[in-house]
Amino acid sequence: MTTISSPVLHRHDVLIVGAGGAGLRAALEASDGADVAVLSKVFPSRSHTGAAQGGIAAALGNVDDDSCEKHIFDTVKGSDYLGDQDAIEVLCSEAPQTVYELEHLGVPFSRLPDGRISQRPFGGHSATRACHAADRTGHVILHTLYEHCLRKEVRFYSEYYALSLIREEGSVEGVVAWDVVHGGIHLFHAKAVLLATGGYGRVFKTTSNAHANTGDGMAMAYAAGIPLEDMEFIQFHPTGIYKLGILITEGARGEGGILLNGHAERFMERYAPSMKDIAPRDVVSRAIYREIRENRGIGGKDYVHLDIRHMGKKKILEKLPDIHSFALTYIGVDAIREPIPVQPTAHYAMGGIPTDVDGRVVVDDKGTPVPGLYAAGECACVSVHGGNRLGCNSLLDIVVFGKRAGRRILTDIGGLGMPGPAADVADAVCLRIEDLLSGSGEETAAGIRSLLQEVMMFRCSVFRNEQLLREAQADLARLRTRYAGIRIMDRGRVCNTDLIEAWELGDLLSLAETMVAGALARKESRGAHFREDYPDRDDENFLKHTLVRKGAEGPEISYKPVVITRFQPRERTY
């Protein structure tokens, strides 16, 4: 085995890690006045933003009466009052302009007969607010942003895998990365680093997330001593295709689809009398699990039916073509004629790297920034989603805050120095890679990963309690030990996906630990975090954000207050 030779050096004003919607929107903005490079472990157009189906929320009022005010309130309520209201105001007030801007960039939105952007109802939104391009909204936004980055000659490093942050005396000065195709360590020095690495649904067994969604950016920040916020809040989307987890957009229910249990009963009428099937996701996912637990799954099994047959063939093929094709391809169900078997699927991380409304990473309750470090998109926690994200608010989040982060970087960059290339910053990383490549243990990454995914699925998903979480904690400790004895079969450098998977698994383990720690400490139920042993929301003790830091003995928990401006917490019913 050869040792890893000395790192290749690169310098750019701005380095963006991640080429999903958040990273690309930031790149587009920052390239107005700086030399921008984007690093991505998959080719940009393959980022998971491309999988977003349903739409992007904005109070355009094209279909019915709507206002930013209503959007703000829906989002605050949807968050179970854990979202920061100042940030939510920014998100929703900038939404219409953001969508118009996307349209001006060429995004091919679906249209109303009069030529304006088409909108449809979505879960937890009190007006018809989801702007969409059939059921491929994320795909067209991702492609459009990528194309404009090409126009502006943004430098892309595709299939480079960021391994760790270079952190010197408190500030961040770049990233150490691995060239996945050719093999080898690269050092990227930059005045500003933006993390836009997306979510980590792959920590669960059943998920709508891509294989690449392993939360690397969050784990990199955590490893560098930066706290993570609200990690116990994970959204389970109610309608994943049975067993596969592939998403059936909420748009299907927005367009009139309904959920049925084993008695062909429209059970959501019992759980959310006014919003019914388009209540927010935490509510619907819990309802589905309750039905299943009480033996009202289909044929007593662990799924229910999503029925869109009454929409009729024409409307299904026009509004939900991909959904129709997914069900047909993967489970042989023709949604025009039969209901689709569905079950909740791990979907979205509300928590992540704490930032202010300009993408600056802040480490405490005083808003102390880390000079040179920014974050945006699903890996960040602004926090606009609080305890539960509303559908279509994430595409909005990534574009609004991606842009704001890009703009803020341009403002800050004059004051940020270009660090000198300290040669030894990559040493520790090189050693870890060497270790992984030469490990002679018995364990495989795939084996440990599938155990991890089961532990999280069965002990830390929709219903949680003290005992399950303690068991999860013990399981994770055991898996952590086993991870140290990992052996990688592929000993080469070129396209060593075996190595990448092993590194990703380390990240997933860290994030799982933060999730369980946060969930254990939060002895209440709020949004997507539901404790059977503490089934009520407890504003007196827990109307606050969790911060989890890496300590010598494992995750350390502290809290910071929620920003409440106009809406005092009220009981949340739908």
Partner 1 sequence: MERCFKIFRFDPENGSVPLYREYRIDVQPDWRILDCIHEIKWKLDGTLSFRRSCAHGVCGSDAMMINGKNRLACRTLVRDLKKRGVIRIDPLKGFPVIKDLIVDSDAFFERNEAVKPWFVNNDRPPEKERLQSPEERDRIDEPTKCILCGSCTSACPTYWYDKAYLGPAALLKAHRFIFDSRDQAGEERLEILNDLTGPYKCHTIFNCVETCPKEINVTGAIAELKMEILRSRLRKKSKSGR
For residue 62, count other CB atoms closer than 10 A to its CB: 17
- Taken in order 130, 132, 137, 142, the sign of the CA dihedral is negative
In the complex, minimum distance from the CB of residue 106 to partner 1, in angstroms, rounded to a whole number = 3
Q: Can you tell me which of 3, 65, 104, 420 binds partner 1, judged by CB under 8 A?
A: 104
| Binding status of residue 219 toward ligand FAD by CB under 6 A | no
Q: Can you tell me which of 131, 187, 196, 409 binds ligand FAD, judged by CB under 6 A?
A: 196
Q: Tokens 């702007």: give the residue.
A: 131
Q: Give me the amino acid identity at 296.
A: R
In angstroms, the CA 525 to CA 542 distance is: 9
In the complex, minimum distance from the CB of residue 208 to ligand FAD, in angstroms, rounded to a whole number = 4
Q: Are strands 304-307 and 234-241 parallel, antiparallel or unpaired?
A: unpaired
Nearest to 248 by CA among 330, 340, 148: 340
| Cβ 342 vs Cβ 287: under 8 Å | no
State the binding string over 358-377 for ligand FAD (x if CB under 6 A, else -): -------------------x
CA angle, 400 then 220 then 225, to 5°: 105
The neighbouring-strand residues paired with 551 are 554
Q: What is the DSSP letter of 206?
A: S
In the complex, minimum distance from the CB of residue 497 to partner 1, in angstroms, rounded to a whole number = 5
| Binding status of residue 65 toward partner 1 by CB under 8 A | no
In the complex, minimum distance from the CB of residue 46 to partner 1, in angstroms, rounded to a whole number = 4
| Binding status of residue 281 toward ligand FAD by CB under 6 A | no
| Binding status of residue 109 toward ligand FAD by CB under 6 A | no
Question: DSSP letters of 361-389?
Answer: EE-STT--EEEEEEE-STTEE-SSSTTSP
In angstroms, the CA 536 to CA 517 distance is: 19
Where does 111-222 show beta strands of DSSP type E?
119-120, 130-131, 155-158, 160-168, 171-179, 185-195
Q: Can you tell me which of 75, 128, 164, 197 binds ligand FAD, judged by CB under 6 A?
A: 197
| Cβ 144 vs Cβ 50: under 8 Å | no
In the complex, minimum distance from the CB of residue 78 to ligand FAD, in angstroms, rounded to a whole number = 12
| Binding status of residue 553 toward partner 1 by CB under 8 A | no
Q: Which residues contact 57 (CB under 8 A, 6 or more apart)?
A: 71, 95, 122, 125, 129, 130, 131, 390, 391, 392, 393, 395, 396
Q: Can you tell me which of 4, 7, 15, 40 binds ligand FAD, judged by CB under 6 A?
A: 40
For partner 1, the closer of residues 446 and 484 by Cβ is 446
414 contact, one of partner 1, ligand FAD, none, CB 5-8 Å limit per kind: none
Chain residues 411-470 in contact with partner 1, contact rule CB under 8 A: 444, 446-447
Which whole-number Å values give the CA distances from 209 to 144, 345, 400, 502, in the listed order? Answer: 22, 9, 22, 18
| Given 281, 286, 464, 572, the catalytic residue | 281
Chain residues 395-424 in contact with ligand FAD, contact rule CB under 6 A: 395, 398
| Binding status of residue 48 toward ligand FAD by CB under 6 A | yes
| Binding status of residue 164 toward ligand FAD by CB under 6 A | no
State the binding string over 2-21 for ligand FAD (x if CB under 6 A, else -): ---------------xxxxx
State the binding string over 107-126 for partner 1 (x if CB under 8 A, else -): -xxxxxxxxxx---------
| Binding status of residue 54 toward ligand FAD by CB under 6 A | yes
Where does 423-568 show beta strands of DSSP type E?
544-551, 554-561
Q: Is the peptide bond before 383 cis (omega within 30 degrees of 0)?
A: yes
Contacts 24+ apart (CB under 8 A), 146-151: 146/19, 146/24, 146/44, 146/45, 147/106, 148/28, 148/105, 149/24, 149/27, 149/28, 149/31, 149/38, 149/44
| Binding status of residue 42 toward ligand FAD by CB under 6 A | yes
| Binding status of residue 306 toward partner 1 by CB under 8 A | no
For partner 1, the closer of residues 244 and 521 by Cβ is 244
| Binding status of residue 480 toward partner 1 by CB under 8 A | no
| Binding status of residue 322 toward partner 1 by CB under 8 A | yes
In angstroms, the CA 201 to CA 196 distance is: 15
Active-site residue flag, 281: yes
Binding site for partner 1 (CB under 8 A): 42-43, 45-48, 50-51, 60, 99-100, 103-106, 108-117, 133-134, 136, 139-140, 143-144, 147-148, 150-151, 181, 210-212, 244, 246, 322, 326, 329-332, 444, 446-447, 488-490, 492-498
| Residues with catalytic function | 281
Binding site for ligand FAD (CB under 6 A): 17-23, 39-42, 47-49, 51-56, 137-138, 161-162, 196-199, 208-209, 212-213, 216-217, 247, 249, 347-348, 377-379, 391-395, 398
